[in-house]
Structures are given as structure tokens and as C-alpha cells.
């Protein structure tokens, strides 16, 4: 049974994500964090799924385009599960560039590297699955060598992060080995990207089910958003990174 209160809370999360986005685009701040529950990235256009009722980050991205007139928005989803809802919502669109780094195999089972979107949106969905046990070097390598250069080619006017922290090694919903500092490092790379492009950056809370590591990761991410820390380079020789580069090569210069 879906309680009305939960539905209101979920709707409020989407509204909060929009309010944060509006404030960023008014120039009130360069970065923002939207701390909402329930998470949103599994919700598809016509159904709730995987704890998610409304896709908060997708509502914010669509609002930025339809209400505020943006032409290009980028979403990076680093929750450990594939952001299937966001991917479906923008599957056929070329005005939202969607990246998802996620463990595979894992719920919901979608997000193969070969799924690059469809129709006019082909190439604008970039799925970056990683095997169980993947740690900071792999995730950072994908952010630094795949996400950042593609984003620079795309030229987004707004960057949104679907910030899930269930890739933390203490989170039992998956088997990745990230630390709080790993999320801070990914944030540093995206923060520096946003600065180079001169565009606002907003993060929207997704999953994270081990409360201690969730809080630690969230605080580390917010500190990096606020300017703390320096992005470090990751080894480009990681086997997954060249494979991912080859998959997107028909669409993006890398
Ligand atoms: Zn998740």
C-alpha cells in the first residue's frame, strides 16, 4: 500500500530538486545539494520502481529545459544501481546527456554498455557498468577519462549529479568498494568540470542504505562541492576505460 504521506514526500523531493535548479540558474550559487528521500532514479515515466516514486533529477532536468529554456543538460548518476528511470525518460532525446556508472550484474538489470539511447537520442545515453568489487580507481578512471571529456564536447549549461552512496564498501545492497573519499574525488572532478565550463552544478540524493557511510559520504561530497580537495588523476590503463571509450567512439571524440 502506498501511503499518501509517502507520495507527498516523494512529490516534494521532485519539487525540491526543481527549486534547487531554479536557484542555481538564477545565479544564487554555483553549487547545490538536494537532500531528499525517497530516491528517484528508478522511477519510469508511468510507474514507480525500486523505492522510487518520482524521478527527482529527471523532473529537474526536464524543467530546466522546458520552463527555463536550457538547450543542453548533463546528468551523471553514480548510484551503484543503474538509473533506468532517468535513462528511459531521456532515451530518445539529444538535449540531455545521461551517464550512469553502476555495478553489473545488479538490480534492475538494465544499463548495458551497448545501450546508447535510441532515435535522436542515440549516443546521448552512456552506460558504464563495472563489475562487483570495483573500487575507487575504476570509478575515478571512468569519470576522468570518459565522463569529463564527453561532457566537454557536449557543453552542458547545467550539470546534475544523481548522488547515490550505495557503492560504499559498507553498503550491503551491492558489492563495490568505494570509500567516502571516493565520492569526494568524483565530486572534485565534476566540480572542476563545471568551473571550467562556467555552469552550475547540483547534486540530488539517490540511494545509500548504510547510515554511517551514507552520512560520511554525503558530508565528503558536500565539502568537495564547496571547494575542498583537489581532483587526483586515476590510472588510464584500467581495462574498462578503453573498452568504454571504444563503445562511445562513434559518437564522441575521446
Ligand atoms: Zn542504488
Looking at residue 30, its pLDDT comes to 96
| Protein fold of 4-248 | 3.40.800
Looking at residue 237, its pLDDT comes to 56
pTM: 0.96
CA of 69 to the centre of ligand 1 (A): 30
Looking at residue 1, its pLDDT comes to 52
Neighbour tally for 132: CB within 10 Å: 13
Looking at residue 17, its pLDDT comes to 87
CA of 241 to the centre of ligand 1 (A): 22
Looking at residue 10, its pLDDT comes to 73
Catalytic residue of the set 42, 82, 168, 189: 42
CA of 106 to the centre of ligand 1 (A): 10
CA of 18 to the centre of ligand 1 (A): 21
Element (H, E) at 31: strand 31-34
Looking at residue 238, its pLDDT comes to 66
Q: Show me where the domains of the chain are located.
A: 4-248
Task: Report how far residue 77's alpha carbon sits from residue 41's, in angstroms, rounded to the nearest whole number.
Answer: 8
Active site residue 168: no
Residue ranges, the chain, pLDDT below 70: 1-3, 236-238
Strands of 152-227 (E only): list them.
158-163, 201-205
Q: For CA atoms 134, 139, 145, 146, give the dihedral sign.
A: positive
Looking at residue 236, its pLDDT comes to 64
Amino acid at each position: 500500500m502506498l501511503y499518501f504521506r509517502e507520495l507527498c514526500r516523494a512529490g516534494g523531493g521532485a519539487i525540491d530538486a526543481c527549486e534547487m535548479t531554479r536557484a542555481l540558474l538564477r545565479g544564487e550559487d554555483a553549487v547545490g545539494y538536494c537532500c531528499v528521500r525517497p530516491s528517484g532514479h528508478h522511477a519510469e515515466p508511468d510507474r514507480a520502481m525500486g523505492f522510487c516514486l518520482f524521478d527527482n533529477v529527471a523532473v529537474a532536468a526536464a524543467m530546466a529545459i522546458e520552463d527555463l529554456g536550457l538547450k543542453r543538460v548533463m546528468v551523471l548518476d553514480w548510484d551503484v544501481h543503474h538509473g533506468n528511470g532517468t535513462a528511459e525518460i531521456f532515451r530518445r532525446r539529444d538535449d540531455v546527456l545521461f551517464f550512469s556508472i553502476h555495478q553489473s550484474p545488479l538490480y534492475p538489470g538494465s544499463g548495458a554498455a551497448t545501450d546508447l539511447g535510441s532515435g535522436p537520442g542515440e549516443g546521448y545515453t552512456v552506460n558504464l557498468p563495472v563489475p562487483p568489487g570495483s573500487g575507487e580507481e575504476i570509478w575515478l578512471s571512468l569519470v576522468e577519462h570518459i565522463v569529463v571529456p564527453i561532457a566537454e564536447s557536449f557543453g552542458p549549461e547545467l550539470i546534475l549529479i544523481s548522488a547515490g552512496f550505495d557503492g560504499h564498501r559498507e553498503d550491503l545492497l551491492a558489492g563495490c568498494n568505494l570509500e567516502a573519499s571516493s565520492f569526494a574525488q568524483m565530486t572534485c572532478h565534476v566540480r572542476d568540470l563545471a568551473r571550467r565550463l562556467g555552469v552550475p552544478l547540483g547534486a540530488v540524493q539517490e540511494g545509500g542504505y548504510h547510515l554511517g557511510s551514507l552520512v560520511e559520504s554525503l558530508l565528503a561530497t558536500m565539502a568537495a562541492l564547496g571547494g575542498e580537495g583537489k581532483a587526483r588523476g586515476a590510472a588510464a590503463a584500467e581495462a574498462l576505460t578503453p573498452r568504454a571509450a571504444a563503445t562511445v567512439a562513434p559518437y564522441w571524440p575521446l
